[in-house]
Copies of this chain bind each other. A is one copy, B any other.
Amino acid sequence: MQGVDPAWLPDGAFRPIGTRRTLIRGAGPLVDTVHGEVAQACRRFGGRVVRAAGADGTAYDLVLELTGPEGLGSEGFTCRREDGVTHVTAYGQAGLLYGLFHLVRLGERAFSQDRQKQAHRPALALRMLDHWDNVAVHPVMGQVERGYAGGSLFWADGRARGELLGRVRAYGRLLAACGINAVAVNNVNVHEVEARLLTNRIGEVAAVADALRPYGIRVHLSVTFAAPMVLGGLPTADPLDEGVRDWWAESTSRVYEAIPDFGGYVVKADSEGQPGPFAYGRSHADGANMLAAALQPFGGTVHWRAFVYDHRQDWRDRTTDRARAAYDHFVPLDGQFAGNAVLQVKHGPMDFQVREPVSPLIGAMPRTRLAVEVQATQEYTGQQRHVCWLGPMWSEVLRFRADGESAVGELARGGLVAVSNVGDDPFWTGHPLAQANLYTFGRLAWQPDANPYGLLDEWIRLTFTPTRSEESARLEAGLYAVLAQSWRTYEKYTAPLGVGWMVQPGHHYGPSVDGYEYSPWGTYHFADRDGIGVDRSVATGTGYTGQYAKRWAELYESPATCPDELLLFFHHVSYDHVLHSGKTVIQHMYDTHCEGVEEVEEARAVWASLAGLVDPARHARVAERFEEQLRSAREWRDQVNSYFFRKSGVPDAHGRRIY
């Protein structure tokens, strides 16, 4: 696209394919997409591409073909190279497309030496982005709720932005290249205008679906549970009411008339003010299953979010623990959800803080299809003004053995979902380096046990194509230095030891240690002059640790065994409590906050040193954001350190200035 950053698909990434002779065997719309990609690369770099069922493969450098089933499903593929010919085979068209992008990632290595046949298939069938995009600009939340990359890719001025469908297609291409196959096109908080996408405005959704379909991406729609009343004029939305069920069945049938490969519904019910089944004395399984029944004839899925808690809590009440809520609400329903109802669980028990334990719900519902939701948009992690590459955090979550044995990446049979970090910004993500989060998410959804640092390397190599190759090493090393530790750096200068929050209420940017301390949101640190943290133990606290599998329950129960980085999430300890690291809690706070700022200063310097190796516009955008990141990091350091010095009275062991 003109004027839009090519991200991880710059023209040069197709040079290895575009300089060669390619044979494509097979037919169908996604094979057409594959052919189009190769043909364009050949036009640019002088190669050739032929579509012919019976041609002799040995006359080509590359053969891409649809074959019989090899047990790899519709999205898997194989790749091998022998006798000077690289072969990619797939049973499904999508598999061939993913195979093509696999070659793009391999680059020249795809053609430089023989390789054994290797099978690839996604570990998770659903790899999804949820866009919290509003059709009509919300008076408080704006066009994109928690969006930090400009307006919406899909919506503007209260309707689908038809003029940008070319850009939506380009977006689909980027997503396919990292393995994503589903997109929910509107905010889970479904307001009045957005509700109508389900019915008389489904045509606008269909237009988006048309733009994404060539890249194997299905669209999903967030719907309001109250739709039968709001849109259908019914007196109730009771999920067991026959009229309501009929209304959903008919409405869903019309959706599939407009979009035959429609993915399904996303629902936030009985959560933060959204309507839901509780109003009718029904369970969340009743609610989800009603929608599942409507979708079932067409192969659709309902994604039912487990983000249910009391957001009007009394801060005086220390017995209610928001962290417990999802488990308490949903575990009793295990086994009651329909086969095409997926329970979508946030990865942590709270809300996308920089550090949380893994949600105990994930290990506790073996008879339910779970999807795990992460947040690519950096709501609490710097809002795309700070560099914060989340790959290591997500990887830790996905490799966590939630039930004591299986990893989260295995338990998430309903898929991996991220809240999108993309908008109509020319760099897609506001901060150009935030593209790495989007890429890493897609690749981890394909292979949850992948080494995230390997994926970071992959993203760097694809995205940054230096003009002179001898500078590659310096550029790649610099980018790696800026990004690899950035999440831990961010953690250091913000809320310490897993306690979370301490952000400005409402917009969630910048520090306010007591910002959520006396609020109704259930998000407290309980700091007093002696200590800080939330006692969630079974013995003396809220009992939350008891929601975990035995292995973790025992580990988290005692401050002696609880990992340092989660200590304040699980325990209230005194400021002079000694961590496993050997430092006291208060000294740890002072030290990490100073270190975090120093690390930002270093990263900024590294970035500055890359000027000339990076496209000037991209370099300037990142440099400008580094100034804000540094200012903000210093603000975090000084507010947090001052707050705790004033409260604890403990001086910094190193005598640094505290205000």
Contacts and interface: CB of A to CB of B under 8 A. Distances in A.
Contact of A512 (B315, B518, B635): B518
A512 B513 CA distance: 11
A649 B528 contact: yes
Contact of A315 (B514, B529, B659): B659
Interface in A487-515: 511-514
Chain A: number of interface residues, binned into ranges:
20 to 34
A659 B31 CA distance: 65
Contacts of A659: 315-316
A241 interface: no
- How many copies of this kind of chain does the complex include? 2
A528 B651 CA distance: 13
A463 interface: no
Give the dominant DSSP class at A's interface.
Answer: loop
A583 interface: no
B528 A646 contact: yes
A646 B527 contact: yes
A108 interface: no
A642 B518 contact: yes
Contacts of A645: 528
Contacts of A512: 514, 518
A196 to B, nearest CB: 25
A638 interface: yes
Contact of A514 (B514, B528, B648): B514
B316 A646 contact: no
Contacts of A648: 529
A159 to B, nearest CB: 22
Interface string A626-644: 0000000001001100110
Nearest to A518: B639
A518 B646 CA distance: 13
A530 interface: yes
Contacts of A513: 514
Contacts of A635: 518
Contact of A646 (B315, B511, B529, B649): B529
A470 to B, nearest CB: 45
B649 A529 contact: yes
Contacts of A316: 638, 642, 659
Interface string A280-319: 0000000000000000000000000000000000011000
A44 interface: no
Interface string A511-525: 111100010000000
6 closest Cβ pairs, A-B complex: A528-B646, A514-B514, A316-B659, A529-B529, A518-B639, A529-B649
